Structure formats: structure tokens, C-alpha cells
Amino acid sequence: MKSTRYYLRTIYMLSIIMVVMCGCKKLVEIDKPTNTISTASAFGTDSKLNSVMAGLYNQMINTGLAFSNGATTLYGGLTADEFVDYGGPLNTLTYPLLTSNINANADFAADVIWSSAYKTIYNSNAIIENLTSSVSDKITDSLRASCTGEAKFTRAFSYFYLTNFYGDVPLVLTTDFNKTATLPRAPQAQVYDQMVQDLKDAQALLPDNFSAGLGERIRPNKGAATALLARVYLYQKDWKNAEAQASAVIGNSHYSLLADLNKVFLINSTEAIWQLKQDVSLTPVGSGTYDDINFNTRIEWESLGPDDQAAFLDPSVYPSVSYFLTPQNYLTDELSNAFEPGDLRHTAWVRSTPSPNIDPYFGVTYNYPFKYINRTATNNQPALQYNVMLRLAEQYLIRAEARAELGDAGGSAADINRIRNRAGLPNTTASGQTDLLAAIARERRVELFAEWAHRLFDLKRTGKASEVLGAIAIKQPWKPGQLLYPVPVSEIIRDPRLIQNPGY
């Protein structure tokens, strides 16, 4: 099997080549996305402004592996206790995440999180600045307001992942290179305060409906800003405000939990608060999402007849058979065993596939995430799924935790039960605060697995990371400092005021 280094670089090169050859595709029915977000002339009319916004989201979803397109889920899950990398030590970019043995001076996979998040922040800042300075009377006031709100939202969204992966980070609020070139790292509390301010501004500026995406949930609205604000308050331990914001989302008629778990991740799912629309013509190996690429098998061994099985085992026919028959990353035993008997989430969102009962496979059965299943999306077969960035189930669990911390045991249990009952499970037996918080942690683990590094961040924010991850054999000797990723060395070289995280 080829190393992840080769795989990721191949994906990157394919993405760049296809962008150059095919050009940018429309995210909504407006002018094509622009690559000149920082140019004032791009902000002259409503049409041009919508093109700029399409360019912002195009950069987040259609330009290769990024924090907003697969990397957060994959890297966070490997760092925590969700995934195992099939390639093992051969995958030199990601294996250090699994083993807690990161070398900051080596070629490090998660540098892409830093670089792609700051690219989104730069684009967001450029939009905010240009809309503030633009005096064009050809931009309607409502669109000017909503696009400013979207840019403030995407800036806050980017900073949430930066600070949770790296801790203190430079707080860049301008495109002025003279002001940003030598910024020091801002305390995490200051970064969170900026997120709160941005999201409050976004709430005031954004519409409640999905008109910006022409009915699709592909551009953040007021509900998205409110949902992210609820999460930020939870991480700040501001329980009262976390409960209030989550309640606002839960009470919004635009959103509802779906009884059919197989429909949760489909386009325009009523559970989706915000989705990003990928261009399947630019996605490597003909898949709809990077989560599909990173987790799913291409072909399931048991689905093949005897002749096809024999052909796949002939190295002269298929020299890289492991790529087709095994998931690139699969669930740990700890996660697989975390589901209760009868949990419909395991039925709908986990797929099991046996490997051939020969060397080097030995008939091992692999469990892997199956939330994204659109494996063969092409221009002729439109995608069935977009990347779900925020969804309603998390809001119930945010409110449950906030209520437990506030002493509202009944309200907390009711929210837990809403999620459990949808999964075919009976009501929780937890009653006291300690038991309720433990029950919420279990539900978050099996509800939000393989989504946006929730498990890693939950272990860190609740102070349980060293207890849980430090007991895993493959992560020995345990290095708690590696719960924060190293600041890319190239950034430290460019900015002498940047200080590396301890332990690197």
C-alpha cells in the first residue's frame, strides 16, 4: 500500500490540476467563484459580491484536503481514540497522530489545518474590509449585511478549530501585512471572546432562511451563527448562554431531527444547520466527500463472486488491492464497543467488511464510519450528500450538558432521551449531575463520532484526555503536550514572535 504521504500529495496535485483545467464551478446560480476576494473591484454589484462569497466557500471545500474538508475529522480522530490508520508506520504523515509521537520538525500532516484555516480567515477579513469600504450603490443593503455576517461567521468557525488544535494562536483581524507579519500568539480566552463577538454580529446581520443558497443549506444563516455560538459558550463553560442559544436553534422550525438515520447526511436534510457543497468533478477518485475517501472501502470483499475475488488477489492484476478492499482508516475497538446493543446509529452509520482470509489480511473484519456513502459521484451522477458542518443533534447535547451543569436534571435527561430514543434506545437511567454528565459524554461519543474532532475536543475540554488516551497502548509513552499540535516550523521562521507549543 502506498504511504499517506504519497496519497495526500497525489490528491493535492489532482485537485490543483483539475481546478486549472476545469475552472471553478458554481456553488449557487450566480457568477462563477472569484479568486480575487481582496480586490475592491470584485465588490461592485450584487452579482460580483455573490461570486466573491462563492469563492470563499470554494476555497473551503474544493481545493483539496483542508480543515474544513476532511482533515479535522481524520486528524482529530487519529489523535483521539476513534480511528486506526490501516497503513501503520508506512503512513509517515498521519501515524505520529495515532501514536502521540509528533515531530514538529518533520513533514507534518496537520500543518494543513493551520494553513487552510488562516486562508479562510484571510478571505473572511478581505470580505469584511471591502464591504466596509465599498460605497457602490449597486450592492443592496440586505446583501451587504448578510455577506458581512457570513464572513464574520466563517472567521469564527476557522478560529474555533485553530484554537482547539493549537491553543493560543495569532488573532488576525485584518489583511494588512504590516500588522499581521509579526503577530504573537493571542491567549485562547481572547480568541474565544473574538468568536463570541463575531457570532453575535453574524446573528444580527444574517437572515433566518436559506435564501442565500437558493433554498439549499450551503451558506450560513442566523441559525448557523446561533448553533456555533452555543458551542463556543459551552467550551467557555458559560452554561446559561449555551442553554439559551441551543434552545433558540432547537425551537427554530427550520430544523428537526430525522427519524430515519440514513437521511441525516443527505442534501438539505432538515437536521443540517449548515452544509458545504463540494464540486464532485474536483474530488479525487470520483467520490462525493473526503470523509468517503478517508474511511470507506471502494469494494466490499463479500460482494465479489469467486472469480472476481481470485482476480483481486492476483498482484499482476491489482497490485494495490488493499486500497480497494480495506478502509484507509477504521474504527478502534474502543469506539466500536461503545455502542449499546440495539443502537440504530451503529446499524446506519457503521459498516463492517471482512478482508480475505489469507496473508496479509487474515480475514480481519474492519468497522468503519459510513455517514458519507456517495462513493461514485460524478458529473453524470450528482452528489447525494454535502459536507455537514453543523447539525441539530449536537444542539440537544449542548443543551443537555448546560442544563446538567445548571442543576436542571429533568431538562437534561429529556434532551438526552430525545437523542437516545431517535437511536432506538430507552430513556437514560442517569439522574444526578455526575451521572448525567457521564451519560452525555457517552452520547456525544456515539452520536458525533467521525465528525469534526468532537471526541478529541470533548476529552480535552473536560480534562479527561490524559486519563483516557494515556491508557492506550499504541500511544505509549504518553506525551500529554501533544494534545496541542505544533505550530508549523515554517511559520515560526517567518514570524519571530511566534513561540512553539511546549514539548516540541
Confidence of residue 282 (pLDDT cuts 50, 70, 90): low
Distance in angstroms (rounded) separating the CA atoms of residues 11 and 447: 29
pLDDT in tens, 99-138: 999 999 886 777 999 999 999 999 999 999 999 998 889 9
Of 356, 349, 390, 389, the closest CA to residue 370 belongs to 349
29 or 190: whose pLDDT is higher?
A: 190
pLDDT in tens, 399-416: 999 999 999 999 999 999
The answer to whether 451 and 437 are in contact (CB under 8 A) is: no
Cell numbers that stand for 445 in this block: 461519543
Q: Is 112 helix (H, G, I), strand (E, B) or coil?
A: helix
Mean pLDDT confidence for 273-284 = 80
What's the chain's average pLDDT? Answer: 87
The answer to whether 204 and 152 are in contact (CB under 8 A) is: no
Distance in angstroms (rounded) separating the CA atoms of residues 150 and 212: 10
Residue 365 sits at the vertex; the CA angle it makes with 74 and 356, to the nearest 5 degrees, is 115
pLDDT of residue 19: 33
* pLDDT value at 141 more than 50: yes
Residue at 201: amino acid letter: D
